[in-house]
Structure formats: structure tokens, C-alpha cells
């Protein structure tokens, strides 16, 4: 690693912020408060670089930009630009935590949630081997990826048949007649052949190697550097790609290489968020970001599956209602408005729709709809009617001051039709790496299933329905 890069890293400012935290532009003469998990100050040059990076993203903005101010949205992860490494952490309201303990707990819980949601190549035994981590989130993720990839490569690299064309002295495979005649009209000792070569130089291996080389430039930890270098050495016979992103859509995962599935998903995440300038090696621009709404949904889905196994009564979980999707209505051209509830639960006791929301509710005592948006209630009403469920649940993370609420859809006569839309919360201010506290989340969700799984509601019960 060059001296220039080392000097650049030594000058880099490292900041940790929580969701909904604020970033202020530091102008001459403007008072600067102390940096905290909820606020920080950046000089104008770095502030403008961060704004330019955010506005160039294809996945949508991370910050809500105002004059000389930016507010963090519900994205978490890391952004590394020239002069700044910004770590964005989830915010789960609590009391009595000091700043450092809060950062460590947020990182640990986010790692568990990402692993359960399938966003990173993380298994339970990987977490156990980490010990107490105080490194930034991306350093931990890079280390986990490198160690896991090294383990899989030592078991055997990905190999497959690659179609190749070559001008050979002996026949191999099929003769490519058009190319053979063009090349070898006067060379009878040569044959232009197309054949399949069994090789380790597959598209998947090229993606893995390119990701290793890119991450090797971003990490400072010795453990990650050593593991990534070892992985690159194990893939010495794999071609180097300056930009592996075009290969992402051509990689085919089969039963032979499915053990690399979560590693490839992490490579896709890393490479797709890589800016063009970083890919070209001009500027060190790097991001590894996750939408907490999707992370929370995936985490709850995984934990509900554990809860269903805990119930041991045949209850099944269908994320995004896979194989159970329905149209809200039909038209002369077919179905209209394809419904995809976050989680559809089916069991002996009945059916249940759960819609997860990583949102912060306001005061619940001053509004009839309990702080839930009208769009969310309309959506749950449609799920309740179309799926005929006895109960639909809006599931939020637990926050201070929030209370559970129940809503009852009405039939055409203005009477309750027997179904319900309920507001429920799950306590996440726990150390999810602690086995007992992790199990407590599973138990809480199992109790939620037992309390809310009701027999389906017929169309007659709800006055004809939709």
C-alpha cells in the first residue's frame, strides 16, 4: 500500500452518526457545538463532497438536504469519501447508555440483523468468533467476508465449463467452420475450434477476486488484509477484472457453487455501490449502505421462521407472500394491483398478514390513527379484505411512549366485520449477540403469532369485501 494512501487515511476524519442525526456545514463565524451521535460539523469542502456523492446515487438520496444542513434518513452503513469516513448506525431509543456503549451495541445489533436478513455473509458461529468489536462497521463486514471466503476457497474454488475458441494444432470440440476458413485457408495444420474448458476462471471467481482487490484498498485491519491477500493468492489462476460489475448479471449460481451465494450477494452489494471514479482508481469513494426498512423486514422474517419452528404446529411464513400473491382487482386486461404483503403467515389457527415498518411514531395520544400514516392503514385494510385474514399487524420497533392500538374495519352498515388491523411493537433494545436476549425476541414474536393468528374471514362476514 502506497505512502500516499496511508497519508490520506491518516488525515481522514472518522464520524459515527445515528439515524435522523444532523450534519451541519461549518462556516466562518458560525458556532460549532460538540460532535455527538446525533450531530456533527463538517467544513464546506467535505460537506460539498458528501452532497455531490449523495446526489449521484442511483438508489435514492441518503440525506434530506437543506441550506447548510443535512439530516440522515433510514440508511445505515458507511460512506468513505476524500477526507471523511462517515458511519451511519441505526437508532433504537434507550435511556442510560453512554455514547461508546451505544455505538458498540448499535454495531453489534446491526450485524445480527444484517446476518439474519441475509444481507451479509454472516453466520452465528462467525459472530461468536468476533468477540467484542470496536472497529467501524465496514471493517467488521470486510473481515467477515474475507474469513468466510478464505474458508470456502480452501474447501475448493468455483469451477465450471467455459466456452472458448482457439486456433489449435489438433481438433478439439467443434470446428468453427467460418472462422477456420478465414484464418486457415493456407494453414492445413491448424484448426479453429470451439470447445468447453473446465476451469477455475469462472465469472463468479472473477467477481470474488475483483471484490477482494477492491476491499484490500479500503481496510486498515491486519486480519482483513491478511485474509484478503490469502484469498487473492488462492485465486491466482483467475483473471483480473478492472471493473467486474458487468459480470454480475452473467454469473449463474448452481448446486455446485451455491455455498458462494451469500458471498456473491455481498460482492454485488459492494460493487454496485462503487462509484465510477473509485472503479477507475481516481478517488477513494466507497460506500456500503443498507436500507433499514428492508433490513428490518428481512430480520423479522427470519425471526418469525424461528418462532414458527418454536411453535412446532406447522405454521409457515411466506416473505413477500411468495406463491401466495393476489391481485386486488381485475380488469379487461387481467389482474390489477399485485399485492405483496411483507409477511404472510399460515397455520392451523388461521392466517395473518404482517407489515413491518422501520419508522418513528409521534405522540399516539393526540391522533386517532395512532401516528400511523393513512397510506399504511389503507394498505393493511386492502390486505385484510383481499386475503380474508382475521387479523393484520403493523409491526414497529419499540420506542418510549408508544402503545399498542387496535382498529376494526367496518362493514357497509357501519358495524365491525370481525376482522382487525392492530399496531404492535417488538423490543430491539437488547444485546442481540447475547443468546438469551436473542431468544427473547424469538419468544416475543412467537407470542405475537399465538395472539393474532385467527381463522380467515369470509366475504359474507365483511359485507362482500373487495
Q: What percent of the chain has pLDDT over 70?
A: 87
Q: Which strand (E) or helix (H) includes residue 287?
A: strand 286-291
DSSP 227-257: HHHHHHHHTTTSPP-S--GGGGGG----TTT
Beta-bridged to residue 40, according to DSSP, are 23
Distance separating alpha carbons of residues 120 and 294, to the nearest angstrom: 13
pLDDT in tens, 292-340: 999 999 999 999 999 988 887 888 999 988 888 888 888 888 888 888 8
pLDDT in tens, 438-463: 999 999 999 999 888 877 665 444 44
Sequence-distant (6+) residues with CB within 8 A of 348 are: 313, 314, 315
Q: What is the mean pLDDT of the chain?
A: 83
Q: Which residue has the higher pLDDT, 277 or 286?
A: 286
Identify the pLDDT of residue 181: 80
Average pLDDT over residues 372-378: 87
Identify the pLDDT of residue 11: 67
Please state, in angstroms and as integers, the Cα–Cα distance from residue 63 to each residue in 24, 70, 223, following that order: 12, 6, 33
- CA-nearest of 426, 431, 445, 441 to 127 is 431
Confidence band of 279 (pLDDT split at 50, 70, 90):
very low
CATH of 293-452, one of 3.30.70, 3.10.530, 3.40.1350, 3.40.1130: 3.40.1350
DSSP 346-389: EETTEEEEEEE-------TTS-TTTT--HHHHHHHHHHHHHHT-
Identify the pLDDT of residue 1: 47
Instruction: Say whether 317 sits in a helix, a strand or coil.
Output: strand
Residue 255 has pLDDT above 90, yes or no: no
Average pLDDT over residues 116-140: 73
Q: Where are the domains of the chain?
A: 160-199, 293-452
The answer, as to whether pTM is greater than 0.95, is no
- CA-nearest of 392, 151, 123 to 262 is 123
- CA-nearest of 170, 165, 224, 216 to 193 is 165
Sequence-distant (6+) residues with CB within 8 A of 179 are: 165, 192
Beta-bridged to residue 77, according to DSSP, are 88, 289
Mean pLDDT is lowest, of 20-34, 384-398, 426-440, for 20-34
As separate numbers, helices (DSSP H) first and strands (DSSP E) second, the chain gives 13, 19
Amino acid at each position: 500500500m502506497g505512502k500516499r494512501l496511508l497519508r490520506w487515511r491518516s488525515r481522514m476524519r472518522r464520524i459515527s452518526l445515528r439515524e435522523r442525526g444532523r450534519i451541519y456545514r461549518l462556516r466562518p463565524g458560525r458556532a460549532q457545538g460538540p460532535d455527538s451521535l446525533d450531530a456533527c460539523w463538517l467544513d464546506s469542502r467535505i460537506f460539498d463532497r458528501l452532497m455531490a456523492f449523495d446526489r449521484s446515487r442511483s438508489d435514492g438520496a441518503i440525506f434530506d438536504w437543506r441550506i447548510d444542513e443535512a439530516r440522515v434518513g433510514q440508511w445505515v452503513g458507511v460512506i468513505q469519501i476524500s477526507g471523511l469516513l462517515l458511519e451511519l448506525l441505526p437508532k433504537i431509543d434507550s435511556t442510560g447508555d453512554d455514547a461508546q456503549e451505544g455505538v458498540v451495541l448499535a454495531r453489534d445489533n446491526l450485524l445480527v440483523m444484517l446476518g439474519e436478513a441475509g444481507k451479509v455473509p454472516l453466520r452465528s458461529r462467525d459472530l461468536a468468533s468476533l468477540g467484542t468489536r470496536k472497529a467501524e462497521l465496514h471493517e467488521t463486514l470486510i473481515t467477515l467476508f474475507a474469513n468466510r471466503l478464505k474458508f470456502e476457497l480452501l474447501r475448493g474454488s468455483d469451477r465450471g465449463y467455459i466456452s472458448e475458441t482457439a486456433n489449435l494444432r489438433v481438433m478439439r470440440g467443434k470446428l468453427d467452420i467460418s472462422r477456420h476458413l478465414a484464418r486457415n485457408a493456407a494453414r492445413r495444420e491448424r484448426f479453429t475450434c470451439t470447445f468447453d474448458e473446465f476451469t477455475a476462471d469462472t465469472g463468479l471467481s472473477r467477481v470474488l477476486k475483483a471484490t477482494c482487490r477492491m476491499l484490500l484498498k479500503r481496510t486498515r485491519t491486519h486480519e482483513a488484509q491478511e485474509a484478503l491477500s490469502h484469498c487473492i493468492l488462492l485465486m491466482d489462476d483467475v483473471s483480473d477484472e478492472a471493473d467486474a460489475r458487468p459480470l454480475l448479471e452473467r454469473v449463474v449460481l448452481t448446486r455446485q457453487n451455491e455455498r458462494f451465494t451469500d458471498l456473491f450477494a455481498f460482492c454485488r452489494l459492494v460493487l454496485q455501490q462503487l462509484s465510477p471514479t473509485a472503479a477507475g482508481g481516481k478517488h477513494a469513494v466507497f460506500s456500503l449502505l443498507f436500507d433499514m426498512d428492508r433490513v428490518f423486514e428481512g430480520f423479522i422474517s427470519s425471526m418469525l421462521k424461528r418462532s414458527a419452528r418454536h411453535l412446532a404446529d406447522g405454521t409457515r411464513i411466506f416473505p413477500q407472500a411468495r406463491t401466495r400473491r393476489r391481485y386486488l382487482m381485475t380488469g379487461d386486461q387481467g389482474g390489477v394491483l399485485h399485492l405483496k404483503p411483507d409477511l404472510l403467515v399460515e397455520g392451523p389457527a388461521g392466517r395473518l398478514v404482517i407489515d413491518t415498518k422501520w419508522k418513528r411514531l409521534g405522540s399516539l395520544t393526540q391522533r386517532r390513527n395512532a401516528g400511523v400514516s393513512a397510506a399504511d392503514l389503507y394498505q393493511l385494510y386492502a390486505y385484510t379484505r383481499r386475503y380474508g385474514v382475521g387479523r393484520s399487524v403493523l409491526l414497529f420497533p419499540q420506542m418510549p411512549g408508544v402503545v399498542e392500538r387496535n382498529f376494526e374495519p367496518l362493514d357497509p352498515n357501519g358495524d365491525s366485520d370481525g376482522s382487525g388491523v392492530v399496531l404492535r411493537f417488538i423490543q430491539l433494545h437488547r444485546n442481540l449477540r447475547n443468546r438469551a436476549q436473542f431468544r427473547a425476541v424469538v419468544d416475543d414474536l412467537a407470542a405475537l403469532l399465538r395472539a393474532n393468528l385467527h381463522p380467515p374471514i369470509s366475504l359474507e362476514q365483511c359485507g362482500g369485501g373487495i
